[in-house]
Structure formats: C-alpha cells, structure tokens
Structure 1
C-alpha cells in the first residue's frame, strides 16, 4: 500500500515539474537571385551597379555560385593576384567578375562553387543538340521545342517587364520560363544525358544541398546566384526543406530602389 501511495505521489510531483525548455535550432536564411548574365553589362536598370547594391543590401554570409568547384581556386587565385578574372568558365558571368569577386574586398562572405557543369558536359550537350536539329527524323521534336521557346519569348516580351528585377523574382516569371524549359526537358533530357535540363539542375542542386547541409543550423544567410531560368527549379526543391527560411527578394529590391 505504501509503495502505491509513493508511486502516486511521485507521478503527481513529476507531472508538476516544469518541462525542460526545448532548444530551437537557428534556421539559415536562403535567397535565390536570378541573373541575366551578359545582360547585366547592357541593361539600363538590372546592371552590375544594381547587383552590387543589391548584394550589399542582402549582406550574405555565403554566396552559392554558378561556378564549377574545380574552377573556383583558379578564379580566386587570379583575382587575388591582379584583381582580374581570367578563368574561362567564370569570365562569361559579369555577376561574378564585376560584382561578387570585387565585393570580397568590402564584405565578409564566402563564395561556395556549386555548378554541376563541366566543359565535357557542355560540349557533349551542344553536339547532341546539333545532331537533333539537323536530323530530318527529329523535325517534329525540334519544331515543338522551337515553338515552345517562341511562346516563352513572346509572353515575356508582352509583360513589358523584360529584365525587370522585380518581375524576374516572381512566380509569373518562372511560369513563363517553364513553357520553353519543360518542353526542352520533356523532349531531350534523357537523350542529352548529364547535360539535360533536369539532369543538370539535379547536379547543381546536389552541390547546393551539400553546402546547406554542411552549414545547417548556423543561423546564417545564403544567397544562391544562378541564371534566372534555374530559379524556379531551385525554389521548388528548397521549399521542401524544413530547416531553412526561404526569403522573398522583393524587400531587398525595395531597399535598392
């Protein structure tokens, strides 16, 4: 009887004790910046000066770049040597040459190379696309691909917001781009192998995931910078994660304006 009374007492006593506080792990913040590559050199608004201000406003701790990991060291070594980029894969992207690398002198962020591309993959893709284009038996496929791209272009131009950074960072922009990209993916992804649309995005995102996993729960801010066509694909995958806070670009664009 005494044992039963004691058990009841301890049950009541323990139930009254304050529960230990649960530790909340700090989420990383993630933004996806869609770029227009060489268009930044000529656009009157969405130019390299605009990108410079935008990245300063975002204040990232890490920039996940559309640079192959095996080309990153050569690019950084060249920049440290004489403030210029000569690495061919990086040289084609003014967002890195004219903005991100120079900003390393003013800001404290780490560039993590995450592109899945290799020169061999790019050459193989171009070779296969050329063969498809020139094959009379694939004329219907090529026509469907061309028409889908034309539809994307016409819808984009009809918005009167071409290269508008606000519009580029909307779901409407991603939906328009998907018209051409999904047709391209449906017709050619498997045939193009590693250079197919779905396949290359998987390769890019695998590297992005590795970086997010490595720095998980640090409470840091990640800025993913890729060509704007990739943005919708990445966002669909990032929304599946429950360990990050995916931020909208608009509030930062507002600060640049």
Structure 2
C-alpha cells in the first residue's frame, strides 16, 4: 500500500517537472494584411480586434522592433503598419512585445526620420534593389517565366477578399513558399541576390523572435500579429517546439 502511495506522489511531482506534462503555451500567429484591413470587408480592423478579444491573450506581439516598443505613436507611424500601432496601444491588460527586424546595422538604435525614404543601411539597400531589379529586363523575363507575378496576383486577391481563418488554412502559406523558392532561383548568383537573402533572413529573424518569446513565456496565451507573407516561416518554425500549441482557428465576431 505504501509503495503505491509513494508511486502516486512521484507521478504527481513528475507531472509538474516533466515538460511532457507541463501546460503548453497557446500561440496564435495571426496573419495581418496591413493597409488592406481598410478595404477587406471580411477582414477589417474590427475583425482583428474581435480575434484578440476572443483569444484573451496574456501577451500581444506586434511587428515592431523590440527597441521601438517604448516609442510614441508619431515616431512609430513613420515606420510601421497601422494595425501594429493600433493594437500595441489597445488592450492595456496584456503585455506587449516587439518581433520585427530591419537590419543588423540599426539593431538597438533608433531609426532616422528618413529611414523609409533614403537608401540607409541594409533595409534601404533592400528597398532600392527592389526598384532596380524590376527595371532589369532579364530579371523581369525570368520572374515571369517562373510565375512570380502570377503568384503575387493570387496572394493579392486572397488578401483583398479572404477572412483570417481562410488566410490561416495553409493555401496562402503554400503560395508564399512557392514564391520564395522561385525568387531564390531567379536571383541566385545575380547582382540582386542580396534582395532575396535579406528578405529570407528577415523572415527567419521574425520567426526566431516569436520562438524566443514563446520559450520565455511557457504556459501563457500569446497572439502574434505579423504580415501574411511572414506567416508560413513563423508557423513552420514554431510547429517544431514541443511546448507550444499552435492555434489555427479564430473567432472574429
């Protein structure tokens, strides 16, 4: 009898210490559509607000750099998308966290006022290179042959019309993965390879920041607002984490 009692005690203790029995982190990675929320009747800002309300998060993570999370709204408006600023400022009962990355050269530093207008740092080089490659006839032809404009068009149509649950069902993410593979093939070993390298590394850094946040806050409810084009890499990364339960359905009303 005593042996059974001791075994029961050991089992109870192990259930609290063994990660297999620990309460999982409930993580919702919500793909957002930035300015598109103003026009998409199936996924507007109010839908996002309802999703957050219904999820009841302990933490709301937004696509703003961690080092900018304490900055005022006038500063943030120059660099970040509207839903990120909006929901950083709402839901005071939830802790807020930043997950964005805009280049190693400005890590830990404030962004200058002309950051989005001039060729400044890695992010500026990335933006300028986009304009250059779109004027390069050979690259334009290669992009068309690989089907990249068609994929962009499909994703644009989905963002303009679909609700959150449809953007989370895997179809949009599959298009993003196909686009990323195609762009890498087209730009590899060209003068524009940096464009693809930076885009992929930024996506990965955002995913890594989400992972670090989830691991630091085990057992909590975390909602992450991130652009739809970052969603696939983040989900793929967090799917590997045993202490995380990925939430894949939302209630938006």
Query: Do these two structures clear the TM 0.5 threshold for a shared fold by scoring above it?
Result: yes
Q: Which protein has the larger Cα radius of gyration, Structure 1 or Structure 2? A: 1
TM-score by length of 1: 0.75
Q: Structure 2: how far apart are the matches of 1:90 and 1:128?
A: 21
- How many residues end up aligned between the 2 structures? 225
Question: Could you tell me how far 1:95 is from its partner in structure 2?
Answer: 1.2
Please state if 1:18 is matched with 2:20. no
Map of 1:145-224 to 2, 5 A cutoff? Answer: 147-154=147-154, 157=157, 162-188=161-187, 191-192=193-194, 196-215=198-217, 217=218, 219-224=219-224
Quick check: 1:46–1:165 contact (8 Å CA) kept in 2? yes
Quick check: 2:210–2:234 contact (8 Å CA) kept in 1? no
**Cα RMSD after superposing both structures:** 2.9
Quick check: 2:57–2:221 contact (8 Å CA) kept in 1? yes
Q: Structure 2: how far apart are the matches of 1:156 and 1:129?
A: 18
Q: Structure 1: how far apart are the matches of 2:90 and 2:78?
A: 13
The equivalent of 1:82 in structure 2 is: none
Question: Could you tell me how far 1:112 is from its partner in structure 2?
Answer: 0.7
- Whichever structure has more helix as a proportion of its residues is 1
Map of 1:1-257 to 2, 5 A cutoff? Answer: 18=7, 20-21=10-11, 22=14, 23=16, 24-74=21-71, 78=72, 85-88=73-76, 92-104=80-92, 108-118=93-103, 119=115, 120-144=121-145, 147-154=147-154, 157=157, 162-188=161-187, 191-192=193-194, 196-215=198-217, 217=218, 219-250=219-250, 252-253=251-252, 256=253
TM-score by length of 2: 0.76
Query: Which runs of no fewer than 5 residues in structure 1 stay unpaired?
Result: 1-12, 79-84
Query: Which runs of no fewer than 5 residues in structure 2 stay unpaired?
Result: 104-114, 116-120
